[in-house]
Amino acid sequence: MQIVVTGGTGFIGRPLCTSLCQEGHRVTLLTRRIETQWPCASIVTAVEWNGREGGAWEHCLDGTDVIINLAGAPIADGRWTDARKELLIESRVLSTRVLIEALSRCPSRPRALINASGIGYYGASDDRLLDEGAARGQGFLSYLSFLWEAEALRAAELGVRVVMLRTGMVLEQDGGALPKMLLPFRFFAGGPIMPGTQWVSWIHRRDHIGLIHWMLANPNVSGPVNAVAPEAVTMNQFCDAIGRVLHRPSWLPVPGFALQAALGELGTLMTTGQRVTPAKALSHGYVFQYPKLEPALRAILTKG
């Protein structure tokens, strides 16, 4: 396929582009900065855009099969001040709006748009198991996800299949939340973020990328898809599993009030959670490489 990717130089986008090329797809990367020193630089076509306005980059959409839109400023890179919230919204909603407007002018439109989103859509929840039919929740992340998805869904009015990839905590050792969580364990001071009973819906990065490949191959999949493993765990269980894999104790809990004092509203990412199930992926036949947490952590932390 001919595939256009935005946000292709990040924690998920970079290995995704590599895997797409390895599968024989032709990848065009819309990026704010042209890089040459990365694995697919010789076979990915990089086209510069700023995510804010149309321009010469629009020609690469014509005749493309699929757009994978991952663009957006990192959620956890700073306190959620009003300015930071504005950046998080603009970097997702505006860039998606610009894409859709470009699609409306495209003579030969892509068949599908796979658009990133997050399980924050569901808001903080109790022990209920949430599938893709669950209602939108409360809070900033829910609002952000709602706005982002609403913008992406405008592509459906143009006859484009739209998939919203509602992603949980993506696990790998070179980015995301996991390396930050591992650090205290390596100094024998690890433990759960309190209260410990909050749910963690996670996914190995290989399965996250695997789901995207699966969506490319399954044109009957549309709408929201929960990108999480089948086994959600509590924060206590998550940290106990880290301790077993690293052969370290999990004994020193992190008080929720301390986290919120340090991070403000951003701290709610770790002190609250959602128990999410990948119902649509399972019912449509996706087979997870890592359905359970401890084998996933072992695969990540015992490489080499």
Supply the pLDDT for residue 239: 94
Supply the pLDDT for residue 33: 79
- Are the CB atoms for 201 and 129 separated by under 8 Å? no
- Encoded tokens for 55: 């321009």
Q: Is position 14 within any domain? A: yes
Domain tally for the chain? 1
List the CATH number of the domain containing 53: 3.40.50.720
Q: Is position 257 within any domain? A: no
The domain of 46 spans 2-171+204-228
Residue type, 139: G
> What residues contact 71, with CB distance under 8 A and at least 6 apart?
6, 7, 30, 51, 91, 92, 95, 96, 116
Supply the pLDDT for residue 259: 67
Q: Is position 78 within any domain? A: yes
Q: Is 53 exposed, middle or buried (0-12, 13-18, 19+ CB in 10 A)?
A: exposed
Q: Is position 103 within any domain? A: yes
Supply the pLDDT for residue 128: 94
**Phi, psi of 47, rounded to the nearest 5 degrees:** -125, 130
- Are the CB atoms for 230 and 277 separated by under 8 Å? yes
Q: Is position 62 within any domain? A: yes
Residue type, 296: A
What pLDDT digit, counting tens, does each position of 37-92 carry? 655 666 789 999 999 999 999 999 999 999 999 999 988 888 889 999 999 999 99
How far is Cα 35 from Cα 74, in angstroms, rounded to an integer?
19
Nearest of 162, 39, 79 to residue 29 by alpha carbon: 39
CB atoms within 10 A of CB 11: 17
Q: Is position 188 within any domain? A: no
Q: Is position 143 within any domain? A: yes
Distances 296 to 43, 174, 185, 291 between C-alpha atoms, Å: 30, 15, 17, 8
How far is Cα 208 from Cα 165, in angstroms, rounded to an integer?
9
Q: Is 108 exposed, middle or buried (0-12, 13-18, 19+ CB in 10 A)?
A: exposed
- pLDDT less than 50: residues of the chain: none
Q: Is position 74 within any domain? A: yes
Helix axes 205-217, 13-22, angle to 10 degrees: 50
Nearest of 177, 173, 150 to residue 245 by alpha carbon: 173
Q: What is the CA radius of gyration of the chain?
A: 19
What angle is formed at CA 123 by the lines to CA 118 and CA 126, rounded to 5 degrees? 120
* Residues linked to residue 113 through DSSP beta bridges, in sequence order: 67, 162
Q: E strands within the chain? A: 2-6, 26-31, 45-48, 66-69, 112-118, 129-130, 161-167, 169-171, 199-200, 202-204, 223-227, 233-234, 275-276
DSSP 43: T
* Residues linked to residue 162 through DSSP beta bridges, in sequence order: 113
